[in-house]
Chains A and B, each alone.
Chain A
Amino acid sequence: MALLEIIGLTVKFPTRFGNFTATNNVSLEVQAGEIHGLVGESGAGKTTIGAAVMGLLQSPGYIGSGSINLAGENLLALDNNQYHRVRGNRISMIFQDPQTSLNPLLTVADQLIETIRQHSDVTADDARTQAIQLLEETGLSDAKQRIDDYPHQFSGGMRQRVVIALALCTQPELIIADEPTTALDVSVQKQILALIRTLAKDRGVGFILITHDIGVISEITDQVTVLRSGRVIESGDTRQVLMQPTDNYTRALMAAVPRLEQRLHRFNNIVTDDSIIDGDDHWQVDGASAKLASDWLLSGHQSSDTGTTASTTPVLAVKDLEVTFQSGQPGWFQSRSGVKALSNINFDMHAGEVLGIVGESGSGKSTLAKSIVGLVDPSAGELRFRGQPLPPGSKRHRKHPVRREIQMIFQDPYSSLNNRLTVEQIIAEPIRFYKLARNRAHIRQLVASVLELVEMPQRAMLKYPHQFSGGQRQRIAVARALVARPDFLICDEPTSALDVSIQAQILNLLKDLQEAFGLSILFISHNLAVIRQMTDRLLVLKNGKLVEISNTDRFFREPAAPYSQQLLRETPSLSHLNAR
């Protein structure tokens, strides 16, 4: 008998516009000791399935039909109090972000001991002993000393171990892990995944692993279920499903996953069903077309690139850059102390080059971008843009030409667009600010044309940002950056907030634009596979220091620095599926 059996699960959320079906007739089985992956893009219903199994559906959601059986017992027949006794005791859960899933006011010991004693009749001392053993088992070597610490005293990876210990402490039969490694750096991710693998094998715990990351799925799951819009697309043995997908959607999804092993010129065969793009998009501005936008952008380029030295001087030269953040207020008797976010950074970037910056969180990637674009003042060192010294942000005049020539695309398209302005106002702003158009009609024409250039219908200019999906918003953000006619684009994790198929579309778009306009792009990402697809050269940062500069192809063949080798080794990859 299967440990967990979900049969024909349909979850509905009543809304003002009728019922929204979050999952539709979903069936799956999890055996004891098995790791079952649920994969799909946002809105696929992965998390809803997890919540339904826990009996913790967000109100007003309800289970329309189907059944959930745990070791043969129908969970849906339980009343709330009976269900609450199942939680923790037989099914437990691991959440995405270890920063927020532990109670900040209680020590780790408090939280563990309370949970253990909730479900078994042991003394506080016994529970404490058990808790220490568990923490050791999950990889906290000095558990005895650290058990009385508070969550904020642990690092992210350590916290996730505590979370896992908490999920395990009542010896549940099933654990639902909802994106357990998404908020972690790759090295920590590797360790946590290995831990989950061990626990499944040694303790016979069944896992449901919810993730959007195909790399993670391929690394540790035995079975996988691919979901889309609340329906099961394909299900079966992980290797089988990922390597020989039978469904078109799975195939398209796999094609959209950036690979570490090879550089594709473009992503092919990608899913396109952005519903807003379809439909009535015949509305047009007179004379507007993608061609117009591209001609206009090209003409702008030539005029700014007339200098004969342009090809030889690097477009950006960074020399001995150092950024220090002052920490807090200076004490009465001590001098100001600071954290060095970046130190001793040196590199050149050539015109038309795409330079990647990789590193784990806290490595200084974004600080580097911000000091170039002028949002952070360097504490030492020199920046030169096309041979001219680049003043620090606070001294850079508002009308300084560099303000137009360097544009930035941010990570989160939900917060980088002003929701109170229409798309037309958003895109027209740089044109008006830099006085790039002759008159209003021209501005309007340009806005419509550039939207078409980023593969959006012209009609989009009449709407507000909230009417678009994440991928469409990011296209709008790209259009806004382009319309300033920049030579230099800084993309700070431009696809990290997006689903893989959307990511593939945006990456394709950026590649096309880069080729068409010969843009120099500084491309920041924590995702090595994306860096491989996008960049010519890359920098590796660690704790604010430069570890390695390398040609991208060479880096992936033979990384020089030990840290780079480690980084590559720890990044989940699909290649082992072939090798196995």
Chain B
Amino acid sequence: MLTFISRRLLQSLFVMLAVSLIAFALFRFVGDPVAQMVGQETSIEDQERIRERLGLNDSIPTQFVRFIGKLASADFGYSYRTRQPVSEMILTRLPATLELGFVSLLISLLIGIPAGIYTAIKRGGALANTLLVTTLVGISIPTFVIGIFLIYLFGVKLGWLPTFGRGDTIALGWWKTSFLTLDGLKSMLLPALTLGVYQLTLTMRLVRAEMQDVLKTDYIKFATARGINYRSLYFNHAFRNTLIPVITIIGLQLGGIIAFSIVTESVFQWPGMGLLFLDSIRYVDIPVMSVYLVLIAMMFVIINLIVDMLYFFIDPRVRLASEAN
């Protein structure tokens, strides 16, 4: 296990280095950083002084090493647009996005997995078919349309739920959470649902397909022939065997949800990283963009590492093979 993790960490390091290189290239070569920092009336000499002070006259490799060093010590520099430290901006936005991603994942798993198992067992049943058709509609409609529809229904027509922002939040240190207030939870519901619908459909269909395959295997037939009760048969014997592919896909999707919640965040004016990213694109705020890039890459790397570690706990064949090595 330890050798496995350390090997994966080493691989992750290479991935992060490669992404940093792209982020650095973005930072250094998309336009002249100095020209974007200063006003028109700054003299050439002043610009030259800033250039010298920022180390932009050093060789490219030296600059890259310095860039990596700063990233590693969480010194992300300053935003062009707001003149705030980038780390501060990200830290205020990160909790909103993570909480949103977490809740939408929860919704998709809590509904998607049972629905997937149900539709696999009751093949061709009326409810199973209804579920399949409705989720198909859900997956076919673009996210922003769903979001707008939900706002119209629950926000405007029924007036039950707020339609934008995070609502009231409570600060736990630097982490502002909306889990602890009713208003925060209510505000969370619509965006989380919007973000989760696609994931839900995918989870359900994946679980269903995998379950159908597993239910055809000899060991399930044998367990049925031994009279194992149906609940254990479906959940303990069959469902567990579908987990490996299901977790792989869900893990990849989760990264996607967090990284690309941009559309949902903008529909609901959710003050998360997606919205921040959108603003930085609009104002060509390169430091924010490059840090965002690195952070998202790190998120994917971490999620994949967790997925790989989950294989360990689920599948004894993986676990024992690595112990034997």
Contacts and interface: CB of A to CB of B under 8 A. Distances in A.
Contacts of A93: 222, 225-226
Interface stretch (A5-13, A94-102, A318-326, A476-484): A94-102
B227 interface: yes
A170 B218 contact: no
A573 B112 CA distance: 56
A118 B315 CA distance: 25
A181 B12 CA distance: 48
Given A103-B241, A150-B317, A56 B219 contact: no
Contact of B219 (A102, A107, A153): A102
A92 B317 contact: no
Interface in A152-207: 152-153, 163, 166-167, 170
B217 A100 contact: yes
B91 interface: no
B237 A103 contact: yes
Interface in B215-239: 217-230, 232, 236-237
Interface in B222-270: 222-230, 232, 236-237, 240-241
Contacts of B320: 150, 152-153
Given A103-B219, A104-B219, A331-B325, A84 B230 contact: yes
A100 B218 CA distance: 6
B227 A106 contact: no
Interface residues of A, number: 36
A85 B227 contact: yes
Contacts of B156: none
A505 interface: no
A513 interface: no
A119 interface: yes
A54 interface: yes
Contacts of A163: 222
B316 A150 contact: yes
B316 A105 contact: yes
Contacts of A106: 236-237, 240
Given A105-B241, A105-B316, A150-B320, A166 B226 contact: yes
Secondary structure of the B side of the interface?
helix
B314 interface: yes
Nearest to A153: B320
B72 to A, nearest CB: 25
Interface in B106-140: none
B228 A88 contact: yes
A153 B226 CA distance: 22
A54 B225 contact: yes
Interface in A50-82: 54, 56
Contact of A105 (B7, B232, B314): B314
A104 B225 contact: no
B223 A103 contact: yes
B316 A100 contact: no
A332 B325 CA distance: 12
A112 to B, nearest CB: 10
A526 interface: no
Contact of B224 (A87, A104, A114, A167): A87
Contacts of A285: none
A89 B227 contact: yes
B241 A86 contact: no
A62 B78 CA distance: 74
A87 B227 contact: yes
A88 B219 contact: no
A115 interface: yes
Interface in B27-62: none
Interface string B145-158: 00000000000000
A104 B222 contact: no
Nearest to A107: B316
Interface centre among B227, B229, B236, B240 (most CB of A within 10 A): B227
A170 B230 CA distance: 17
Contact of A104 (B228, B232, B316): B316
B317 A100 contact: no
Contacts of A87: 224-227
A287 B199 CA distance: 66
A546 B225 CA distance: 43
Contacts of A118: 226-229
Contacts of B232: 114
A509 B217 CA distance: 37
A115 B232 CA distance: 11
A240 B316 CA distance: 50
A54 B225 CA distance: 7
Given A100-B219, A104-B219, A88 B241 contact: no
B225 to A, nearest CB: 4
B219 A101 contact: yes
A54 to B, nearest CB: 6
B319 to A, nearest CB: 9
Interface in B284-325: 314-317, 320, 325
Contact of A95 (B218, B229, B241): B218
Interface of A: 54, 56, 84-89, 91-93, 95-97, 100-107, 111, 114-115, 118-119, 150, 152-153, 163, 166-167, 170, 331-332
Interface of B: 7, 217-230, 232, 236-237, 240-241, 314-317, 320, 325
8 contacts: A93-B222, A101-B222, A104-B315, A105-B314, A106-B237, A118-B229, A166-B222, A332-B7
Question: Which are the 7 A-B pairs with shortest beta-carbon distances?
Answer: A88-B227, A88-B226, A87-B227, A93-B225, A100-B218, A101-B218, A150-B316
